[in-house]
Structure 1
């Protein structure tokens, strides 16, 4: 499922203007430079007309009247000097406009990507689990890039077109109202066509953005699952699936391109009509003596200047639609609201790691309760374990403690304080977490261990690794703690990743250690190593662990057995085995022993 593409509350440009106030002065200056550049761009046609007027009329020319210079060569000299000034100003303003527009586009792109990523980080874990990583990446990367391209190219082009129409229109209006009407007659056709094409292109480019999200999601998922694809010889099947998604993206783009490309021929016909009427009617007026030859040449040039740039309307409209479709998706992402928001409170004293669940009911979306009325207490300094069959609600319980989600009813407390009232640092800063699916970042072993405590010294990092029984294998790596691990730590074994994750949690020196199936995917030797390290690192701190292998929790102070979202029984290992209940049955299955009949 990709990120939603619902429309923003206002037009995207309005939203951007409001959101990025700091860039308004730069935008205004960029617009001014674009206007100056366009004025200078139009001036050579006027200079050409004035030069022709000098050659034809001599002392009666417009330049002679303005400067009071009768010599024709002198008049041309003045026009040549003016032309140099115009070209210098045009070049300077063009450079300034490009630097300003491109800098603005890059700045907005950077700020929007960082803001969007920061917002994505603040959204609930459940929000991410309901969406594909590729879909979110498409918004953070492709959509932000599309908006940057519009600001870099499309926006200055639109401004240039508008200024061009105004300037040329002013020249025509001063020269001949008749030619003004004839030259501008095609423009309503172009405007009407633009509106029609805009309405047609908008849903087409929305579809393009949706299809690229699907394609990115497929690629991201397949790259992450490449070993599985290879193991099941599914390469061709997955290649076909990627090809199908790519074909859909290509088809969506093709439909949009066909519509936008059809716009240019329409504009060319309008240019032909406008240029031909100016050429004929203006020429007839010049022959009749009602229009000066120099002015006639100016108007012929100006007709080309007026209408020919409109051939870029199709391309600009294409950039605009792509940019607005992307902006809507980014703004829609920014409009997503987190349901789990941090509180503002802190713990009354140093964290001790005591956990309590009071009458907790929890579930996912509109589904049934996964936890139904759970009451559980982990006193400070004790090690407690949660066990039970698949689907009993073990991992959901840990998610509530970490506040990845909130209960539907009831309370989760840390040291007697409702976790919903605590800020993230107060809550998660007191917890060291080791997940079942260990995530290691691309970087060195040291960087990964120190991830939760970047300011840790090398001695502290190594001490944590020793406590997690990771120092031995780290020392044998090519560069020791400086060894680079691949993305997600794929260059390490599952047991090595688990021990590094445990070292990362230990280094944070948390009051509460939370482990979710930390030994589910390791061999017996690694399991024994983790058990030994757990005995050491839980001294003086609380621990709450979910485990499938009961051998890893037999020394826990208390074991909670969940079944069907409820606490079926609780007690120490020996007490539960002696009770002959659900835990005893699981223990018998895992050890291969049969329960003695009562």
Structure 2
């Protein structure tokens, strides 16, 4: 069966994640060793109780072998009462320790799974913001859900069961070697078949499971993007195209599923035949040894029973090792975030002032495709800079560069003379804050949502921040005020209210430089204008870079930068650019009809 060709599957199915990396073997190995080190006492206790259970289970074969030997020797007193008594005690002891094995194994698995989830969350939120912004929705979603689910089974059962199986098999082989030493080599008869089958399988399984996992991530990405952009899909009549894309991704994924199923369909019969071969070899070789007088009938009986008992631990080892092949891929995808530097900085550079400068910046999301080219912009402390231009020109990308979210491919973006990309992310956030169009309301009280920006803020400061963004009116009308539960399952906030909470956090964070990426886009024009005037009073003396399609924001700015095709085509005040009659003047005339 091993020579059979695999079924048809599409080699074009993705084999790696497009964004976040998959952990290297060294990274996975280091994390596994770290987990074992954290839980070494639990592992030692599990192995101890498992050893006791296995030793108790071997009492039966020894007692039965002794009984058969006595019958063979025509002994008159078989001591049946004593044998039954010892066997009963051994069964009770075995039952107690087997129960402990299951309990200790489950506890160990749950603790390791909890550690894994916590480590992934802590590491993920510590990544540079640009990494997560560029990460695909489907890839992140599949890692958080599918990969964690696959690992849950492995952590709860595979790791403890594999440890149990290895100890169990070693003790049984040792017991056979002690009871009937000449029979021990009989176990080697099945080893070549088992080695060949396992080598064939495990040579192909890891890459196949990686491809299967990546294929599922592609399916999740296609479905999530279609659902998120459902209205856009409908308005542009893209439904048929998105359905075809989803069907193609599902076809690629199921092809890899069939391929991994084929691999298992070859391995499992090999394992079953190995079990049969082990028992037959012990009986046949042992029978010859008994006829030759090299071992007794009792030794053969005990050896045959122990060989039969080897079926269970070998099955456990191979079954759960196969499960670990799937888990290893999921683990590599989860610990892959460890291969990303948490931030580019080492804390050795600090800004000397508040002057923000972009000097001959080039940046692209993909190699060889630049979104920004030859961009230079100086933002003076305390000034208002507006970035305007058509959609897709690169305004938001430039704003993220100025906020330290991304690092330029070429050129420099500095704050007070210090390279933003060389500063730790936490220090960058203490100087520069970004507020964009996407706002998240966390499950919890309104107070907890605001305290994310400054944990030590008093209620009076929270109300002042809400008042600064015109949110105190509706917040005071809530039944429990700041203690009102918001988010999923709580008070349903409108998009505009969620945006006001995000802006209130900005007021509390109190950075000296702000990048507002259409931060008032969810408010109607009149309310947005009023809010911006209120913010202007609060943000007085701070540096503000505003990205907006509403040109009244540009009208109030000290400097306007017109971004077109990834370059700054015009730079100046509102009056200067209108007088120049260029691209900004055309936008202004279009805005005012």
Which TM-score tier does this pair reach, normalised by the shorter chain? 0.7 to 0.9
Superposition CA RMSD, Å: 3.7
Q: Which residue of 2 aligns with 1:213?
A: 217
2:372 corresponding residue in structure 1: 370
- Give the CA deviation at 1:374: 0.9
Q: Give, in whole Å, the separation in 2 of the partners of 1:288 and 1:439.
A: 81
For 1:102, the equivalent position in structure 2 comes to 106
Structure 1: distance between partners of 2:491 and 2:308:
62
The reply to whether residue 583 of structure 1 matches residue 584 of structure 2 is yes
Of residues 472-481 and 303-312 in structure 1, the stretch that sits farther from structure 2 once superposed is 472-481
Mapped to 2, the partners of 1:572 and 1:76 lie a distance apart of 105
User: What pairs up with 1:330-479 in 2 under 5 angstroms?
Assistant: 330-337=334-341, 340-341=344-345, 343-346=347-350, 354-357=354-357, 359-364=359-364, 365-368=367-370, 370-380=372-382, 382-415=383-416, 417-420=418-421, 422-475=423-476
Which segments of 5 or more consecutive residues in structure 2 lack a partner in the other structure?
Answer: 1-16
- Report 1:262-281 matches (<5 A): 262-279=266-283
Q: How far off is 1:278 after superposition?
A: 4.0
Deviation, 1:404, is 0.8
The aligned residue for residue 314 of structure 2 is 310
CA distance in 2, matches of 1:499, 1:308: 62
Contact 1:344 1:423 survives alignment (8 Å) = no
Question: Residue in 2 aligned with 1:64?
Answer: none
Q: What do the CA deviations read for 1:25-63 (whole angstroms, capped 9, x no partner)?
A: 433443343333323222321122234445665879xxx
Give, in whole Å, the separation in 2 of the partners of 1:472 and 1:140: 38
2: CA distance between counterparts of 1:289 and 1:410?
87
1:198, CA displacement in angstroms? 1.8
Which residue in the other structure is 1:90 paired with?
Answer: 94
- Normalised by the size of structure 2, how large is the TM-score? 0.83
CA distance in 2, matches of 1:4, 1:421: 21
Do the aligned partners of 1:441 and 1:489 also contact (CA within 8 Å) in 2? no
- 1:266 CA drift (Å): 2.8
3-state DSSP of counterpart to 1:522: coil
Q: Greater shift after overlay, 506-515 or 82-91?
A: 82-91
How has the CA–CA distance of structure 1 residues 560 and 497 changed in structure 2, closer, same or farther, with 3 Å as cutoff? same
Deviation of the 1:311 alpha carbon: 4.1
1:496 aligns with 2:497: yes
Of residues 302-311 and 413-422 in structure 1, the stretch that sits farther from structure 2 once superposed is: 413-422
Matched pairs, number: 575
Distance 1:490 1:188, change over 3 A: farther
User: CA separation in 2, counterparts of 1:162 and 1:524?
Assistant: 69
Distance 2:284 2:182 in 1: 12
Q: Note the C-alpha offset of 1:463.
A: 1.8
Distance of 2:358 and 2:238 partners within structure 1: 48
Q: Find the aligned partners of 2:30 and 2:432 in 1 and give their Cα distance.
A: 43
TM-superposed CA distance for 1:435, in Å, is: 0.8
How big is the shift at 1:319? 0.7
- Is the contact between residue 374 and residue 565 of structure 1 (CA under 8 Å) also seen in structure 2? no
Q: Does 1:41 align with 2:57?
A: yes
1:30 correspondence with 2:46: yes
Kept in 2: contact 1:467–1:537 (CA 8 A)? yes
CA distance in 2, matches of 1:423, 1:563: 31
CA distance in 2, matches of 1:11, 1:409: 30
Deviation at 1:468, TM superposition (A): 0.7
By how many angstroms is 1:232 displaced?
Answer: 6.4
**Structure possessing the higher radius of gyration over alpha carbons:** 1
Distance 2:496 2:350 in 1: 36
Structure 1 CA distance for aligned equivalents of residues 104 and 312 of structure 2: 26
| 3-state SS of 1:465 partner | helix
